[in-house]
Amino acid sequence: MSLTRRDFARKSAITGAGVALAGSVGALATAPNALAATETEGAEAESALGGHHHHHGVGYGPLIADPDGILALPAGFTYEIITYSGRTKLESGEFTPSNHDGTATFDGPRGATLLVNNHELKGPRANWKYPVPLTEGLVYDPAASGGCTVVEVRRGHVAEWVGIAGTSQNCAGGRTPWDTWLTCEETEDKAGKNGMTKDHGYVFEVDPEDRRANRDPKPLKALGRYAHEAVVVDPKRGHLYLTEDADTPNGLLYRWTPPEGFRHGRGKLRTLADDAGVLQAFKCFDSGGKFVDDLSRATRIGTVYGVDWVDVPDRDAKTVSVRKQFTDGQVTRARKLEGMWWGDAGVYIVSSFARQESPVQHDGQVWFYDPKRRTLTLKVLLGVNTDPSQDGAFDGPDNITVSPYGGLVIAEDGEGVQHLFGATESGRTYPIARNELNIGTEEEPEFSEFTGVTFSPDGRTLFANIQTPGIMLAITGPWKRQKCD
């Protein structure tokens, strides 16, 4: 049943229009460049100019430069390199593929931690020095360079093997409640384009424990063909939510509803017909019932939108890209819809930035979708960072995870300095790590984005990747519960 504009307006009037309707989930306003709940669109530029705010009792203290030039961390924290493209090797003898992206962790055998790691490699294999090896039986399209590897970490021992190969631009993806990984292709290339021999832009399932389950990869066409970024599963209702990282026009948030009687489980998605279930795109409206064309319109922390869902006409995009099948007024759009994570009985959703292609500019949003209330609440809003080369401000959120110590941990994919940073439920932010691996020059330094931020199953280790050249890191230290006020 859809939530009508009238229903939402009535509920807003009872609760207080535009005031947090998301229950116990706290608003995550970021510092130093957040837009406060009392600020308006016109105040956006001013809000981006503040310096870094140090919050006593929040976080782990200042970051200490790394003599090895890899990762700056707070005092008491250390890191280990788990995989390094072009240096570490797979069980089969090939080098670890490059361009690490989305990652999830799983309990492995005999106390091991298993990780599935996306490799965001697009186009022909000849374009990349270290593509994902074409392991027999695990290849979708032999022309494609991307895929996933599975990494096993146990008491200082690391092993790595291919989970899927022959896919393209594997980006954020998502973990399932039945302990598999859904890897997402962030492309719309069809057979014959960029050297591909098959259509791309699909989601594939990878089992970290059962290598046999990964043989003969099958695209999950029921989830649509578009520039997929991330996916999460509602463990109670069975819905899948999916982000699209695209522009001209801006991308969409999707919801897939399984067919009646379907029960999720390992490999079950592969059994579905290509048109199984219902794929829909979101449509938002404010407390007054007014349609919201783009999420960048929200300029106040705590903004709440009601959400309806609109059926996708042609999910396989045979002639027209899915996002282009809707006219203005039919759906809500957002630039750079990126990482997602299930937590607090809902979905955290990232819009990394908005520029001239959007109604209002910003340097990052994090939203929370409450499936029970069918509301979308703005939790994090970053004003435009006027000087990304300076350390302190955060911009360009991308991959995201809910922390076992409270709040969120966010990977930066912005300009200039790149961080892992935390955000508490009460709105305080703090640095966790800084990328110090300069892949540019001394005169013009360049630092790759962080990706794949995720905690180990026991919460003791934070894993994260430096995408270029492709390094998986394990961070340990005196983790603590972060204060909320």
> Is 111 a residue whose pLDDT tops 50?
yes
Residue numbers of the domain that contains 46 = 31-90+382-478
Res. 425 pLDDT band, cuts 50 70 90: confident
Residues 6+ apart with CB under 8 A from 261: none
What is the C-alpha separation between 17 and 334, in angstroms, rounded? Answer: 23
What is the C-alpha separation between 364 and 386, in angstroms, rounded? Answer: 13
> Is 93 a residue whose pLDDT tops 70?
yes
- Asked whether residue 35 is assigned to any structural domain, the reply reads yes
pLDDT at residue 258, as a whole number = 98
What is the C-alpha separation between 360 and 260, in angstroms, rounded? Answer: 40
- Asked whether residue 243 is assigned to any structural domain, the reply reads no
Mean pLDDT of 317-339: 97
pLDDT at residue 105, as a whole number = 98
Q: Is the pTM of this model over 0.85?
A: yes
Mean pLDDT of 20-36: 32
> What digits encode the pLDDT tens for the residues 213-264?
999 999 999 999 999 999 999 999 999 999 999 999 999 999 999 999 999 9
> What digits encode the pLDDT tens for the residues 41-80?
333 322 332 233 444 578 999 999 999 999 999 999 999 9
Mean pLDDT of 88-92: 97
> Is 479 a residue whose pLDDT tops 90?
yes
Q: How far apart are the first and last CA of the chain?
A: 38
Closest CA to 407 of 322, 479, 325, 306: 479
Are the CB atoms for 118 and 155 separated by under 8 Å?
Answer: no
Residue of 385 and 186 predicted with greater confidence: 186
Tokens describing residue 359:
């109604």
pLDDT at residue 62, as a whole number = 96
> What digits encode the pLDDT tens for the residues 11-26?
444 333 222 222 223 3
> What digits encode the pLDDT tens for the residues 447-464?
999 999 999 999 999 999
Mean pLDDT of 182-195: 97
pLDDT at residue 386, as a whole number = 87
Res. 158 pLDDT band, cuts 50 70 90: very high
pLDDT at residue 57, as a whole number = 73
> What digits encode the pLDDT tens for the residues 377-416?
999 898 898 888 888 789 999 999 999 999 999 999 988 9
Q: Which helix (H) or strand (E) holds 74?
A: strand 71-74
Mean pLDDT of 328-345: 96
- Asked whether residue 99 is assigned to any structural domain, the reply reads no
- The full DSSP string for 423-443 is E-TTS-EEEEEEE--B-S-SS
> Is 104 a residue whose pLDDT tops 50?
yes
- Asked whether residue 70 is assigned to any structural domain, the reply reads yes
- Asked whether residue 347 is assigned to any structural domain, the reply reads no
Residues 6+ apart with CB under 8 A from 143: 124, 125, 166, 195, 196, 197, 198
pLDDT at residue 6, as a whole number = 44
Mean pLDDT of 462-479: 98
Percent of the chain at pLDDT > 70 equals 88
The total of structural domains in the chain comes to 1
- Asked whether residue 368 is assigned to any structural domain, the reply reads no
Mean pLDDT of 127-137: 98
What rounded mean pLDDT belongs to the chain?
89
Neighbours of 61 (CB within 10 A): 13
- Asked whether residue 376 is assigned to any structural domain, the reply reads no
Are the CB atoms for 389 and 417 separated by under 8 Å?
Answer: yes
pLDDT at residue 484, as a whole number = 64
Of 35-39, 159-163, 323-327, least confident by mean pLDDT is: 35-39
